[in-house]
Amino acid sequence: MDLFEYQGKQYFARFGIPVSAGGVADTVDEAVAEADKAGYPVVVKAQVQVGGRGKAGGVKLAENSDEVRHHAGNILGLDIKGHVVRRLWVEHASDISKEYYASFTLDRGAKKYLAMVSAKGGVEIEAVADEDPDAIARLYIDPSIGFVEADARGLVERAGLDEEAHDGAVAILLELYRCYVEGDADLVEINPLILTPAGQVHALDAKVTLDDNASFRHPEWDGFRDIDEFDERERLARSKGLQYVGLDGYVGIIANGAGLAMSTCDVVNQVGGKPANFLDIGGGANAEVMANALEVINSDPNVRAIFINIFGGITRGEEVAQGIVTALERVDIKAPMVIRLDGTNAEEGRDILKQVESDRVMSSPTMLEAARKAVELAGSGTTGGNAGTSGNRSGTSGNGPATSGDTGDVQ
Protein backbone atom coordinates (compact mmCIF):
# COMPACT_ATOMS: atom_id res chain seq x y z
CA MET A 1 0.00 0.00 0.00
CA ASP A 2 1.36 3.39 -1.01
CA LEU A 3 0.86 6.21 1.43
CA PHE A 4 0.15 9.81 0.62
CA GLU A 5 2.81 12.29 1.71
CA TYR A 6 0.82 13.41 4.74
CA GLN A 7 0.35 9.80 5.85
CA GLY A 8 4.01 9.06 5.24
CA LYS A 9 4.93 12.02 7.42
CA GLN A 10 2.63 10.74 10.17
CA TYR A 11 4.40 7.42 9.90
CA PHE A 12 7.83 9.08 9.98
CA ALA A 13 6.87 11.13 13.03
CA ARG A 14 6.00 7.95 14.88
CA PHE A 15 9.62 6.86 14.56
CA GLY A 16 10.99 10.24 15.58
CA ILE A 17 11.89 11.56 12.13
CA PRO A 18 11.52 15.35 12.16
CA VAL A 19 8.84 16.72 9.80
CA SER A 20 7.19 20.14 9.56
CA ALA A 21 4.01 20.95 11.44
CA GLY A 22 0.93 20.99 9.25
CA GLY A 23 -2.51 19.62 8.53
CA VAL A 24 -4.69 18.19 5.77
CA ALA A 25 -7.34 20.17 3.95
CA ASP A 26 -10.02 19.14 1.47
CA THR A 27 -11.31 22.64 0.79
CA VAL A 28 -9.87 26.12 0.36
CA ASP A 29 -11.30 27.23 3.71
CA GLU A 30 -9.76 24.28 5.49
CA ALA A 31 -6.44 25.08 3.83
CA VAL A 32 -6.55 28.62 5.21
CA ALA A 33 -7.46 27.34 8.67
CA GLU A 34 -4.53 24.88 8.59
CA ALA A 35 -2.16 27.57 7.36
CA ASP A 36 -3.23 29.89 10.21
CA LYS A 37 -2.48 27.06 12.62
CA ALA A 38 0.88 26.11 11.09
CA GLY A 39 2.10 29.72 10.91
CA TYR A 40 3.18 31.64 7.80
CA PRO A 41 4.86 31.23 5.45
CA VAL A 42 3.40 27.87 4.50
CA VAL A 43 3.68 25.39 1.65
CA VAL A 44 0.47 24.15 0.05
CA LYS A 45 1.02 20.66 -1.33
CA ALA A 46 -1.11 18.45 -3.59
CA GLN A 47 -1.68 14.99 -2.11
CA VAL A 48 -1.43 12.58 -4.99
CA GLN A 49 0.53 9.37 -5.22
CA VAL A 50 2.88 10.45 -7.94
CA GLY A 51 6.25 12.17 -7.93
CA GLY A 52 7.16 15.49 -9.50
CA ARG A 53 4.30 17.42 -7.92
CA GLY A 54 6.54 20.47 -7.57
CA LYS A 55 7.21 20.68 -11.29
CA ALA A 56 3.52 20.14 -12.08
CA GLY A 57 2.46 23.14 -10.01
CA GLY A 58 1.27 21.07 -7.07
CA VAL A 59 3.61 22.58 -4.46
CA LYS A 60 3.33 26.31 -3.73
CA LEU A 61 4.69 28.67 -1.12
CA ALA A 62 2.22 31.12 0.45
CA GLU A 63 3.07 34.14 2.59
CA ASN A 64 -0.44 34.90 3.81
CA SER A 65 -4.02 33.66 3.79
CA ASP A 66 -4.83 35.32 0.46
CA GLU A 67 -2.02 33.42 -1.19
CA VAL A 68 -3.12 30.19 0.46
CA ARG A 69 -6.62 30.78 -0.87
CA HIS A 70 -5.25 31.41 -4.34
CA HIS A 71 -2.94 28.38 -4.45
CA ALA A 72 -5.32 25.98 -2.71
CA GLY A 73 -8.01 26.95 -5.22
CA ASN A 74 -5.66 26.25 -8.11
CA ILE A 75 -4.25 22.99 -6.79
CA LEU A 76 -7.52 21.35 -5.73
CA GLY A 77 -8.90 19.65 -8.83
CA LEU A 78 -5.57 19.90 -10.63
CA ASP A 79 -4.70 16.87 -12.72
CA ILE A 80 -1.16 15.70 -12.03
CA LYS A 81 -0.16 12.91 -14.40
CA GLY A 82 -3.69 11.54 -14.36
CA HIS A 83 -4.22 11.95 -10.60
CA VAL A 84 -6.82 14.51 -9.64
CA VAL A 85 -5.99 16.41 -6.46
CA ARG A 86 -8.71 16.07 -3.83
CA ARG A 87 -6.68 16.74 -0.72
CA LEU A 88 -3.98 19.17 0.32
CA TRP A 89 -1.28 19.11 2.94
CA VAL A 90 -0.45 22.55 4.33
CA GLU A 91 2.70 22.86 6.40
CA HIS A 92 4.90 25.54 7.85
CA ALA A 93 7.47 26.42 5.19
CA SER A 94 11.13 25.61 5.79
CA ASP A 95 14.18 27.61 4.80
CA ILE A 96 16.41 25.43 2.70
CA SER A 97 20.15 25.60 2.30
CA LYS A 98 20.64 22.11 0.89
CA GLU A 99 18.44 19.35 -0.48
CA TYR A 100 19.58 15.75 -0.03
CA TYR A 101 18.15 12.32 -0.67
CA ALA A 102 17.79 9.26 1.57
CA SER A 103 15.98 5.96 1.18
CA PHE A 104 15.76 2.33 2.23
CA THR A 105 14.31 -0.22 -0.07
CA LEU A 106 14.42 -3.93 -0.75
CA ASP A 107 16.72 -5.34 -3.40
CA ARG A 108 15.03 -8.63 -4.16
CA GLY A 109 17.82 -9.80 -6.43
CA ALA A 110 20.48 -9.26 -3.77
CA LYS A 111 18.13 -10.47 -1.02
CA LYS A 112 19.23 -7.48 0.98
CA TYR A 113 18.01 -4.07 1.98
CA LEU A 114 19.50 -1.21 0.04
CA ALA A 115 20.20 2.18 1.58
CA MET A 116 20.81 5.12 -0.72
CA VAL A 117 21.98 8.59 0.22
CA SER A 118 22.84 11.48 -2.05
CA ALA A 119 23.84 15.10 -1.71
CA LYS A 120 21.86 15.69 -4.89
CA GLY A 121 18.31 15.69 -3.61
CA GLY A 122 15.16 17.50 -4.61
CA VAL A 123 15.33 16.13 -8.13
CA GLU A 124 14.16 12.71 -9.20
CA ILE A 125 16.65 10.12 -8.06
CA GLU A 126 16.31 8.22 -11.34
CA ALA A 127 17.70 11.27 -13.12
CA VAL A 128 20.64 11.42 -10.72
CA ALA A 129 21.23 7.70 -11.19
CA ASP A 130 21.35 8.23 -14.97
CA GLU A 131 23.43 11.36 -15.13
CA ASP A 132 25.71 11.04 -12.16
CA PRO A 133 25.53 7.57 -10.63
CA ASP A 134 28.53 8.24 -8.41
CA ALA A 135 26.53 10.92 -6.62
CA ILE A 136 24.51 8.18 -4.93
CA ALA A 137 26.16 6.35 -2.03
CA ARG A 138 24.75 2.85 -1.62
CA LEU A 139 24.94 0.29 1.09
CA TYR A 140 23.55 -3.23 1.00
CA ILE A 141 22.31 -4.32 4.38
CA ASP A 142 22.02 -7.90 5.53
CA PRO A 143 18.72 -7.95 7.42
CA SER A 144 20.11 -10.42 9.94
CA ILE A 145 22.97 -8.07 10.78
CA GLY A 146 21.17 -4.75 10.62
CA PHE A 147 22.19 -1.15 10.19
CA VAL A 148 24.18 0.70 12.85
CA GLU A 149 25.49 4.19 13.43
CA ALA A 150 28.84 3.51 11.79
CA ASP A 151 27.01 2.40 8.63
CA ALA A 152 24.95 5.56 8.62
CA ARG A 153 27.99 7.74 9.14
CA GLY A 154 29.88 5.98 6.36
CA LEU A 155 27.00 6.56 3.95
CA VAL A 156 26.66 10.22 4.81
CA GLU A 157 30.38 10.77 4.34
CA ARG A 158 30.56 8.88 1.07
CA ALA A 159 27.57 10.80 -0.23
CA GLY A 160 29.39 14.05 0.50
CA LEU A 161 26.74 15.68 2.65
CA ASP A 162 27.86 18.96 4.20
CA GLU A 163 29.76 18.57 7.43
CA GLU A 164 27.18 20.37 9.53
CA ALA A 165 24.44 18.02 8.31
CA HIS A 166 26.27 14.84 9.30
CA ASP A 167 24.94 14.31 12.82
CA GLY A 168 21.37 15.18 11.91
CA ALA A 169 21.43 12.98 8.82
CA VAL A 170 22.93 10.03 10.73
CA ALA A 171 20.19 10.29 13.35
CA ILE A 172 17.50 10.41 10.69
CA LEU A 173 18.95 7.45 8.79
CA LEU A 174 18.84 5.33 11.94
CA GLU A 175 15.23 6.33 12.58
CA LEU A 176 14.35 5.80 8.94
CA TYR A 177 15.82 2.31 9.10
CA ARG A 178 13.70 1.54 12.14
CA CYS A 179 10.65 2.91 10.31
CA TYR A 180 11.51 0.67 7.36
CA VAL A 181 12.01 -2.52 9.38
CA GLU A 182 9.68 -2.18 12.37
CA GLY A 183 7.19 -0.27 10.30
CA ASP A 184 7.12 -3.12 7.74
CA ALA A 185 7.72 -0.90 4.73
CA ASP A 186 8.96 -1.93 1.30
CA LEU A 187 10.19 1.57 0.62
CA VAL A 188 10.86 4.67 2.69
CA GLU A 189 12.18 7.68 0.85
CA ILE A 190 12.92 11.25 1.85
CA ASN A 191 13.41 13.58 -1.11
CA PRO A 192 14.34 16.20 -0.23
CA LEU A 193 15.94 15.68 3.10
CA ILE A 194 16.94 19.24 3.87
CA LEU A 195 19.58 21.15 5.74
CA THR A 196 18.26 24.47 7.01
CA PRO A 197 20.37 27.62 7.42
CA ALA A 198 20.08 27.01 11.17
CA GLY A 199 21.86 23.67 10.70
CA GLN A 200 18.87 21.44 11.20
CA VAL A 201 18.16 18.37 9.09
CA HIS A 202 14.62 17.28 8.39
CA ALA A 203 12.25 15.53 6.02
CA LEU A 204 10.43 17.78 3.58
CA ASP A 205 8.75 15.01 1.63
CA ALA A 206 7.78 11.42 2.45
CA LYS A 207 7.28 8.42 0.24
CA VAL A 208 6.30 5.24 2.02
CA THR A 209 5.15 1.92 0.61
CA LEU A 210 3.90 -0.50 3.24
CA ASP A 211 4.28 -4.23 2.81
CA ASP A 212 0.71 -5.53 2.51
CA ASN A 213 1.83 -8.97 3.63
CA ALA A 214 2.45 -7.49 7.08
CA SER A 215 -0.92 -5.80 7.41
CA PHE A 216 -2.14 -8.56 9.76
CA ARG A 217 0.11 -7.18 12.48
CA HIS A 218 -0.75 -3.54 11.82
CA PRO A 219 -4.42 -2.95 12.57
CA GLU A 220 -3.57 0.75 12.65
CA TRP A 221 -2.94 0.69 8.89
CA ASP A 222 -6.68 0.59 8.33
CA GLY A 223 -6.61 4.29 9.07
CA PHE A 224 -4.41 4.80 6.01
CA ARG A 225 -6.82 3.11 3.65
CA ASP A 226 -8.41 6.05 2.02
CA ILE A 227 -11.62 4.29 1.21
CA ASP A 228 -12.83 7.32 -0.75
CA GLU A 229 -10.14 6.48 -3.25
CA PHE A 230 -11.99 3.37 -4.30
CA ASP A 231 -15.14 3.33 -6.26
CA GLU A 232 -18.23 1.46 -5.12
CA ARG A 233 -17.29 -1.76 -6.89
CA GLU A 234 -13.75 -1.81 -5.56
CA ARG A 235 -15.02 -1.25 -2.06
CA LEU A 236 -17.46 -4.14 -2.35
CA ALA A 237 -14.77 -6.40 -3.81
CA ARG A 238 -12.34 -5.49 -1.06
CA SER A 239 -14.88 -6.26 1.60
CA LYS A 240 -15.19 -9.73 0.05
CA GLY A 241 -11.45 -10.24 -0.24
CA LEU A 242 -11.36 -10.25 -4.06
CA GLN A 243 -8.65 -8.83 -6.29
CA TYR A 244 -10.56 -6.34 -8.37
CA VAL A 245 -9.66 -3.44 -10.61
CA GLY A 246 -12.40 -1.34 -12.20
CA LEU A 247 -11.94 -0.35 -15.86
CA ASP A 248 -13.93 1.79 -18.31
CA GLY A 249 -15.44 -0.81 -20.60
CA TYR A 250 -18.53 -3.01 -20.58
CA VAL A 251 -17.43 -6.65 -20.51
CA GLY A 252 -17.19 -7.93 -16.94
CA ILE A 253 -14.33 -10.38 -16.49
CA ILE A 254 -13.83 -13.11 -13.92
CA ALA A 255 -10.74 -15.28 -14.16
CA ASN A 256 -8.65 -17.40 -11.85
CA GLY A 257 -5.12 -16.05 -11.51
CA ALA A 258 -3.90 -12.57 -12.33
CA GLY A 259 -2.08 -13.76 -15.42
CA LEU A 260 -5.19 -15.30 -16.91
CA ALA A 261 -7.26 -12.25 -15.93
CA MET A 262 -4.81 -10.04 -17.80
CA SER A 263 -4.77 -12.18 -20.92
CA THR A 264 -8.55 -12.31 -20.79
CA CYS A 265 -8.62 -8.52 -20.87
CA ASP A 266 -6.24 -8.65 -23.85
CA VAL A 267 -8.38 -11.13 -25.74
CA VAL A 268 -11.51 -9.09 -25.11
CA ASN A 269 -9.71 -6.06 -26.50
CA GLN A 270 -8.42 -8.10 -29.42
CA VAL A 271 -11.93 -9.01 -30.54
CA GLY A 272 -13.05 -5.40 -30.32
CA GLY A 273 -14.54 -5.30 -26.84
CA LYS A 274 -13.68 -3.32 -23.75
CA PRO A 275 -13.19 -4.85 -20.31
CA ALA A 276 -15.27 -3.33 -17.51
CA ASN A 277 -12.97 -4.72 -14.88
CA PHE A 278 -10.26 -7.13 -13.96
CA LEU A 279 -11.30 -9.65 -11.34
CA ASP A 280 -9.04 -12.44 -10.16
CA ILE A 281 -10.77 -14.99 -7.97
CA GLY A 282 -7.50 -16.78 -7.23
CA GLY A 283 -7.02 -20.49 -6.69
CA GLY A 284 -9.91 -21.44 -4.47
CA ALA A 285 -12.74 -20.71 -6.82
CA ASN A 286 -15.49 -22.35 -4.84
CA ALA A 287 -19.19 -21.53 -4.98
CA GLU A 288 -18.95 -18.80 -2.37
CA VAL A 289 -16.09 -17.01 -4.13
CA MET A 290 -17.81 -17.24 -7.49
CA ALA A 291 -21.07 -15.89 -6.10
CA ASN A 292 -19.19 -12.98 -4.52
CA ALA A 293 -17.37 -12.22 -7.76
CA LEU A 294 -20.61 -12.24 -9.73
CA GLU A 295 -22.22 -10.00 -7.16
CA VAL A 296 -19.45 -7.42 -7.52
CA ILE A 297 -19.66 -7.48 -11.31
CA ASN A 298 -23.42 -7.32 -11.15
CA SER A 299 -23.23 -4.08 -9.20
CA ASP A 300 -21.58 -2.34 -12.14
CA PRO A 301 -24.23 -0.73 -14.34
CA ASN A 302 -21.77 -0.53 -17.24
CA VAL A 303 -21.47 -4.30 -17.54
CA ARG A 304 -23.40 -5.56 -20.54
CA ALA A 305 -21.94 -9.07 -20.67
CA ILE A 306 -19.89 -11.24 -18.35
CA PHE A 307 -17.01 -13.42 -19.40
CA ILE A 308 -15.96 -16.10 -16.90
CA ASN A 309 -12.64 -17.59 -17.88
CA ILE A 310 -11.38 -20.43 -15.70
CA PHE A 311 -8.43 -22.65 -16.32
CA GLY A 312 -8.50 -25.41 -13.76
CA GLY A 313 -5.28 -26.47 -12.11
CA ILE A 314 -5.79 -26.79 -8.40
CA THR A 315 -9.13 -25.20 -9.10
CA ARG A 316 -11.49 -27.92 -10.23
CA GLY A 317 -13.90 -27.41 -13.09
CA GLU A 318 -16.91 -29.02 -11.44
CA GLU A 319 -16.46 -26.90 -8.34
CA VAL A 320 -16.38 -23.72 -10.39
CA ALA A 321 -19.43 -24.83 -12.32
CA GLN A 322 -21.26 -25.61 -9.11
CA GLY A 323 -20.27 -22.16 -7.90
CA ILE A 324 -21.79 -20.56 -10.96
CA VAL A 325 -25.00 -22.52 -10.54
CA THR A 326 -25.22 -21.52 -6.88
CA ALA A 327 -24.40 -17.93 -7.71
CA LEU A 328 -27.17 -17.83 -10.27
CA GLU A 329 -29.61 -18.98 -7.61
CA ARG A 330 -28.36 -16.42 -5.14
CA VAL A 331 -27.75 -13.36 -7.28
CA ASP A 332 -30.08 -11.95 -9.88
CA ILE A 333 -27.52 -11.48 -12.63
CA LYS A 334 -28.42 -8.66 -14.98
CA ALA A 335 -26.05 -9.30 -17.87
CA PRO A 336 -25.76 -12.41 -20.05
CA MET A 337 -22.66 -14.50 -19.46
CA VAL A 338 -20.26 -16.69 -21.34
CA ILE A 339 -18.26 -19.31 -19.49
CA ARG A 340 -15.08 -20.89 -20.68
CA LEU A 341 -13.96 -23.80 -18.55
CA ASP A 342 -10.77 -25.66 -19.27
CA GLY A 343 -8.21 -27.74 -17.39
CA THR A 344 -8.89 -30.01 -14.45
CA ASN A 345 -12.33 -31.64 -14.61
CA ALA A 346 -13.51 -29.24 -17.30
CA GLU A 347 -15.80 -31.89 -18.82
CA GLU A 348 -17.57 -32.51 -15.51
CA GLY A 349 -17.90 -28.78 -15.08
CA ARG A 350 -19.46 -28.27 -18.48
CA ASP A 351 -21.94 -31.03 -17.73
CA ILE A 352 -23.04 -29.24 -14.60
CA LEU A 353 -23.38 -25.98 -16.48
CA LYS A 354 -25.80 -27.58 -18.91
CA GLN A 355 -28.55 -27.33 -16.32
CA VAL A 356 -28.36 -23.52 -16.35
CA GLU A 357 -27.54 -22.92 -19.98
CA SER A 358 -29.84 -20.62 -21.90
CA ASP A 359 -29.49 -17.79 -24.38
CA ARG A 360 -28.21 -15.76 -21.43
CA VAL A 361 -25.85 -18.31 -19.93
CA MET A 362 -23.55 -19.93 -22.43
CA SER A 363 -20.56 -22.15 -22.37
CA SER A 364 -17.73 -21.98 -24.83
CA PRO A 365 -14.69 -24.27 -25.02
CA THR A 366 -12.04 -21.76 -26.10
CA MET A 367 -10.99 -18.41 -24.80
CA LEU A 368 -11.11 -16.64 -28.14
CA GLU A 369 -14.51 -18.03 -29.01
CA ALA A 370 -15.88 -17.14 -25.59
CA ALA A 371 -14.49 -13.60 -25.85
CA ARG A 372 -16.15 -13.15 -29.26
CA LYS A 373 -19.45 -14.33 -27.87
CA ALA A 374 -19.26 -12.08 -24.84
CA VAL A 375 -18.45 -9.04 -26.93
CA GLU A 376 -21.25 -9.88 -29.32
CA LEU A 377 -23.72 -10.19 -26.46
CA ALA A 378 -22.52 -6.91 -25.01
CA GLY A 379 -22.78 -5.12 -28.30
CA SER A 380 -26.22 -6.05 -29.46
CA GLY A 381 -29.10 -3.74 -28.68
CA THR A 382 -27.15 -1.27 -26.59
CA THR A 383 -27.64 2.42 -26.76
CA GLY A 384 -23.93 3.02 -26.33
CA GLY A 385 -24.85 5.87 -24.07
CA ASN A 386 -23.03 4.56 -21.10
CA ALA A 387 -19.84 3.31 -22.66
CA GLY A 388 -16.82 4.99 -21.20
CA THR A 389 -18.75 6.96 -18.66
CA SER A 390 -16.93 7.84 -15.50
CA GLY A 391 -19.93 9.04 -13.62
CA ASN A 392 -21.24 5.60 -12.82
CA ARG A 393 -20.44 5.94 -9.15
CA SER A 394 -23.51 7.77 -8.00
CA GLY A 395 -25.62 8.39 -11.05
CA THR A 396 -27.28 5.05 -11.31
CA SER A 397 -27.38 3.86 -7.75
CA GLY A 398 -30.85 5.22 -7.33
CA ASN A 399 -32.20 3.00 -10.05
CA GLY A 400 -31.30 -0.12 -8.18
CA PRO A 401 -30.66 -3.33 -9.99
CA ALA A 402 -33.00 -3.92 -12.84
CA THR A 403 -35.74 -6.34 -12.01
CA SER A 404 -35.55 -9.63 -13.83
CA GLY A 405 -37.16 -9.22 -17.17
CA ASP A 406 -35.73 -5.77 -17.60
CA THR A 407 -33.11 -6.85 -20.02
CA GLY A 408 -33.64 -4.19 -22.60
CA ASP A 409 -30.08 -3.05 -22.24
CA VAL A 410 -28.43 -6.25 -23.16
CA GLN A 411 -30.69 -8.19 -25.49
Q: How far apart are CA 135 and CA 127, in angstroms?
A: 11
Q: How far apart are CA 99 and CA 59, in angstroms?
A: 16
Q: How far apart are CA 256 and CA 269, in angstroms?
A: 19
Binding site for ligand GDP (CB under 6 A): 43, 45, 51-54, 59, 93-94, 96, 99, 122, 191-192, 204-205
Of residues 175 and 205, the one with the C-beta less far from Mn ion? 205
Of positions 205, 295, 318, 319, contacts Mn ion by CB under 5 A: 205
Site size toward Mn ion, by CB under 5 A: 2
Nearest distance from residue 161's CB to Mn ion, in Å? 17
3-state secondary structure the chain: CECCHHHHHHHHHHCCCCECCEEEECCHHHHHHHHHHHCCCEEEEECCCCCCCCCCCCEEEECCHHHHHHHHHHHCCCEECCEECCCEEEEECCCCCEEEEEEEEEECCCCEEEEEEECCCCCCHHHHHHHCHHHEEEEEECCCCCCCHHHHHHHHHHHCCCHHHHHHHHHHHHHHHHHHHHCCEEEEEEEEEEECCCCCEEECCCEEEECHHHHHHCHHHHHHCCHHHCCHHHHHHHHCCCEEEECCCCEEEEECCHHHHHHHHHHHHHCCCCECEEEECCCCCCHHHHHHHHHHHHCCCCCCEEEEEEEECCCCHHHHHHHHHHHHHHCCCCCCEEEEEEECCHHHHHHHHHCCCCCCEEECCCHHHHHHHHHHHHHCCCCCCCCCCCCCCCCCHHHCCCCCCCCCCCC
Which of Mn ion, ligand GDP, none does 392 bind, CB closer than 5 to 8 A by kind?
A: none
189 noted as active-site residue: yes
Told to check if 99 binds Mn ion by CB under 5 A, we report no
Nearest distance from residue 280's CB to Mn ion, in Å? 33
Of residues 6 and 278, the one with the C-beta less far from Mn ion? 6
Of residues 8 and 336, the one with the C-beta less far from Mn ion? 8
Nearest distance from residue 214's CB to ligand GDP, in Å? 26
Of residues 205 and 318, the one with the C-beta less far from Mn ion? 205
101 noted as active-site residue: yes
Nearest distance from residue 51's CB to ligand GDP, in Å? 5
Which of ligand GDP, Mn ion, none does 18 bind, CB closer than 5 to 8 A by kind?
A: none
Of residues 22 and 301, the one with the C-beta less far from ligand GDP? 22
Residues 184-203 as x/- pattern, contact with Mn ion by CB under 5 A: -------x------------
Nearest distance from residue 152's CB to Mn ion, in Å? 21
Which of ligand GDP, Mn ion, none does 96 bind, CB closer than 5 to 8 A by kind?
A: ligand GDP
Q: Which of 85, 90, 72, 73 is nearest to 23 (CA)?
A: 90
Please calculate the CA angle 205-11-241 and round it to the nearest 5 degrees.
115
User: From the candidates 5, 91, 99, 189, which is the catalytic residue?
Assistant: 189
Q: Which of 166, 143, 144, 145 is nearest to 156 (CA)?
A: 166
User: From the candidates 6, 11, 100, 101, which is the catalytic residue?
Assistant: 101
Of residues 94 and 292, the one with the C-beta less far from ligand GDP? 94
Nearest distance from residue 117's CB to Mn ion, in Å? 15
Of residues 101 and 311, the one with the C-beta less far from Mn ion? 101
Nearest distance from residue 22's CB to ligand GDP, in Å? 10
Q: Where in the sequence numbering do the catalytic residues fall? A: 101, 189
Footprint of Mn ion (CB under 5 A): 191, 205
